[in-house]
Every structure is written in C-alpha cells, then in structure tokens.
Amino acid sequence: MKGLFWRILLLATLTFAKPYVLLISWDGFRWDYPDKGDFSALKYMQENGVRAQSLQPVFPSKTFPNHYSLVTGMYPARHGMIFNSFTDPRTGIFYSTRRKTKNGLFPTDWYRGEPIWITARRNGIKSASVFWVGTEVIDKQRRPDYFEFYNHYMPHETRIAKILEHLQRPRAERPHFLSLYFSDTDDYGHKFGPDSREIPRAIRKLDQSLGRIFRGIEEIGLADSVNIILVSDHGMTETSPQRVVPVDSLLSGLEYTVNGSGQVSSFLADAGTVDRIEKRLRAYGRGFNLYRRDNIPAYYHFSGHPAIGPLVLIADPGWYLRIKFPLSSRGAHGYDNRFLEMHGIFMAMGPAFKKHYRTGMLRNIDVYPLMCHILGIRPNPEMDGELIKIMHVLKQ
C-alpha cells in the first residue's frame, strides 16, 4: 500500500505541477539593444532572472535557419533549413519562406530533426505556437497542437491574447510549451539600420508588449509556474553602397544556380563552370571569403546538405554580395556567426531560473535541451546542443 501511495502521489505531482515554458523571439534583436534606452520590462526581467552577454546564432545567421535551430538544437545542415530560400539540386524544387502549398502549409519533408513540439507530444505534453518556423507543415503530427498561420500584420495585443487564452484552457487541453514571435526590430533594422534612432522606438514597443505578457500571466495566476525565455535569432550590422561585391557582373555569361543571398551564397554548377567561377571571384578578391565545399571551416558546421554547392561565398561583415538583387537595406545579417554584431539576446525568468544572474555568451543550439530539461522531457538524442553548456542559468 505504501508503494501505491507514493506512485499515486508522484502521478498527482506530474499532473498538477508541470512547469510551463514560453519561448519568445524578437527577430533581429542585437545583443546590445537592451542598453539603447530605459526599458522597464527588460529591466524587470534582468533583475528577476537571467541575462546572457549574447546568444550566438548558428551559421548562416539568417532567420529561418536560426529559428529552427532554437527549437531543434541542431545545426542547419542537419535540420534542413540552410537558408531562407534555396533549391534542392536532387529534385529541382525551390524552397522559400513564402512557397506554401494550396492549403497554406509547407511541405513537411523540408523540415528535418525533431522540434520541441514533437518532443513534447512524444512525452504527453501539448504545445501551442503563435508563429514559429516549422509549425505550418502539412503533416499534422509534426505541428504543435495549436498553431497560427503566419500573419506579419497581426497586432501585438492579438498575439499576446492568443497565448493567454491557451494558458487558460482546461487543464487536460492546456499547452505547457508555447512560442511567440515578433518581427519589429528586424523590420526596422533592415529599413533604417541597427544604429538608427528608429530602433529604440521599435524596442520600446516590444518592451511594452513584454510588460503586458508579464501582467497577463500574473492575472491568470500562473506567474509562479511559467518560465519565460526571451531570445533573438540573430543581430544586425550596418551596410553601405560602398561595400558591394558585383558578383553578377563578375560572373556574366556563366550558367549557375545560387542558393542563399547577399551575405552567404552557394553556387551549383558543372565542374568546369565551378572552376571558372572560382577563378573570377578570386581575381576580384575583396569583401568576402570563398571556400570549396570540402574546405569550409569546421566551426561553421556547414557541410553535408545536398543544397550546399561546390563553392560557398561568405561576405565580410557589412559587405553585400550582389547576385540577384541590388542592395536595398541599411542593415543586414547572415554573416559569420562569430561576429559579435550577429549575436542576439538571451534572457529568462521564472521558477526554474536564477535571479539577477549574468552570464557570458550562450549558444542557441543549447536552448532546446534547456527547455526539455525544464519541462522534464527527454530531448532528441540526435541534437547538437548540450545541456551542460547552458544549465548554469538554472536554480538547480
């Protein structure tokens, strides 16, 4: 009887005391943006939780690769999202952030790995998303239990209200992992530049929304149960018309396919054309690094995916590779992920986290095992992330 009692008690504890994780992304929010003004919600979060010096993105420091790495703990060459858009040379099919099927969903097989909503389902935990890369796929079993079709113009208030509604569902239907996305600082960073006066305005709007989230969670009585993790996918750096590599002109007359965009590009072509591309680019020789696929530095973890072509061109920070389109923004990202201006933020607050704790740089691939640990679920053993490298932010 005594053993039965403890089993029942354990079951009750797991049923009624399961923690919550709310993962919030502020797209393009550079590591130093919190210091660009007096932002009350960010200040409250720092005083009552954890702030890292920076969050290192994976390479390339683009939106889709990094958002999917945050929820899978994998490098892009393994989870499949190597760029925001690319062509699979095996099939000729083109993937992009806007290329959906007729029903508004993405083909499932583009998204490899195991995002945390699948890990959660495997462990009997429901999940909800108000926008995240990889949630809008055809296969229902690879989507969160509750998800939204991406709407760039959905007001902050509506997004927050949807999260709070999920947290007030009946206990048996309630998600314990939730994700929430905002694009403001990425939008403003591209349009005006990361050091423009418009950036603090965008931060203030996000900060006000963060405060609403804090108050909403407190009002529904879950302040002592919800762990809030605030991240960004990458940072941002200034661009200039004086730092443009005219790739299109340099390679005029050659037949090739390009995967990637103005900060990192991969060329697919026959062997002879690859040699000619390499010769012309090396003759120009400034504003970039050029690698053969087999010689890409290991620290990029950027090999093994069929859509990575025989040549990979990586722009120097602040430079732009003009291949398909002219330079049209004052800020950009996608560069070497070791470059500090490509780093984002990591802040966290809740019952699992230390208070008023500062730490150094963290890696975004380690966020997935951290969230699994908080939720008490076993992560995908195929992940690249390591809990040991981030668990010092936790109370225990």
**DSSP code string of 105-150:** -B-GGG--S--HHHHHHHTT--EEEES-TT-SBS-GGGS-SEE---
Active site residues: 63
pLDDT (mean) for 363-379: 98
Q: What's the rounded Cα separation, in Å, for the pair 167 and 311? A: 48
Q: What's the rounded Cα separation, in Å, for the pair 298 and 294? A: 10
Those residues with Cβ within 8 angstroms of residue 393's Cβ, 6 or more apart along the chain or in another chain: 50, 52, 348, 353, 354, 357, 359, 362, 370
Cα pseudo-dihedral 308, 314, 318, 319, rounded to 10: -100
Q: Nearest-CA neighbor of 234 among 264, 279, 255, 209?
A: 264
Give the pLDDT score at 327: 95
Each residue's pLDDT tens digit, 250-291 = 999 999 999 998 999 999 999 999 999 999 999 999 999 999
pTM above 0.85, yes or no: yes
Whether the link from the prior residue into 200 is cis, omega within 30° of 0, is: no
Each residue's pLDDT tens digit, 156-211 = 999 999 999 999 999 999 999 999 999 999 999 999 999 999 999 999 999 999 99
CATH architecture of the domain with residue range 244-328: 2-Layer Sandwich (3.30)
Give the pLDDT score at 102: 66
Each residue's pLDDT tens digit, 97-145 = 776 776 888 888 889 999 999 999 999 999 999 999 999 999 999 999 9
- SS3 of residue 221 by DSSP: coil
Q: Is the pLDDT confidence value at 58 over 70?
A: yes
Residue boundaries of the structural domains of the chain: 19-238+337-393, 244-328
Q: What is the mean pLDDT of the chain?
A: 94
Q: Nearest-CA neighbor of 174 among 148, 145, 147, 150?
A: 145
At residue 4 the predicted structure's pLDDT band, cuts being 50, 70 and 90, is low
Name the percent of the chain lying above pLDDT 70. 95
Give the pLDDT score at 120: 98
Give the pLDDT score at 211: 98
Q: CB atoms < 10 A from the CB of 309, how many? A: 23
Q: Nearest-CA neighbor of 379 among 111, 120, 194, 156?
A: 120
- SS3 of residue 324 by DSSP: coil
Domain at 19-238+337-393: CATH code = 3.40.720.10
Q: What's the rounded Cα separation, in Å, for the pair 42 and 189? A: 19
- SS3 of residue 182 by DSSP: strand
Distances (CA, A) of 226 to 146, 229, 234, 350, 373: 18, 10, 25, 6, 14
pLDDT (mean) for 207-232: 98
Q: Is the pLDDT confidence value at 15 over 70?
A: no
Each residue's pLDDT tens digit, 288-332 = 999 999 999 999 999 999 999 999 999 999 999 999 899 999 999
